[in-house]
Structure 1
Amino acid sequence: MSNLGVSDRNSGIEVLHHESDRFYELLDGGMSVALLVYEQSPDRTAITHAMVREDQRGRGYGTTLIATALPHLAASGGTIANYCNSVSRFLEKHPDFKTFVDADG
């Protein structure tokens, strides 16, 4: 597990990468509030799910998690395919991040 850095040191938000289990986790004050799950082959990463706890939605956690995970996954090499509706909605709202994802899915 690696800590990808604290998004906001004052608020206690941090994103962790659980590489051996293939997921990213966003914590707020130590509480797990969001996950992004992926599958990986030698030359391709497939994002399969992203979710925010129902009682924590609408606070920007999903945006923070996806915006942190996409560049980190891209830096590991290979292409990224997206099969998650939440990530698709994020990409529509944040087109600059589309460069990280293979358009052919």
Structure 2
Amino acid sequence: MKPEYLEIPLVKNEEKNQFEITIDGHKAFILYKEKPYATALIHTETEPELEGKGAGTAVIEKTLAYIEEHNSKIIPLCPFVFAYIKRHPEWKRIVDEHFKGFDE
């Protein structure tokens, strides 16, 4: 994550079912759905003003850390989150054991 994003807080917006960060008034977010056994990460998006600036990666890293801190697991349905975990396999430690997408 870019150093300028380290101090930006992650917000769990339960009304919108998204984890989000706000940078210069613009949002990057991940839509989620909580299951009893894990949190499905469905879609990552950044507002156009943040595209290509690392905000998507920052919201993924902050979301993964949040979920791990809360002793939960994830189901990485979002292609961007899935690709991030493939590049950073140490995060497989929080992927729900029923998710078989990395085995293929």
Runs ≥4 residues deviating over 4 A: none
- CA-based RMSD of the aligned residues comes to 2.2
TM-score by length of structure 1 reads 0.74
- SS of residue paired to 1:14: coil
Does the aligned pair in 1 maintain the 2:32–2:40 contact within 8 Å? Answer: yes
Residue 60 in 1 paired to residue 27 in 2? no
Residue 27 in 1 paired to residue 22 in 2? yes
Does the aligned pair in 2 maintain the 1:43–1:77 contact within 8 Å? Answer: no
Aligned to 2:10: 15
Runs of 5+ in structure 2 lacking a partner?
100-104
| Paired residue total | 96
Cα offset, 1:67, TM superposition: 0.6
* More RCO (CA 8 Å, sep 6+): 2
Structure 1 residue identity aligned to 2:74: I
* Correspondence for 1:74 among 45, 68, 78: 68
Structure 2 residue identity aligned to 1:25: E
Cα offset, 1:84, TM superposition: 0.5
- In terms of fraction of residues, the more strand-rich structure is 1
Identity, in percent, stands at: 24
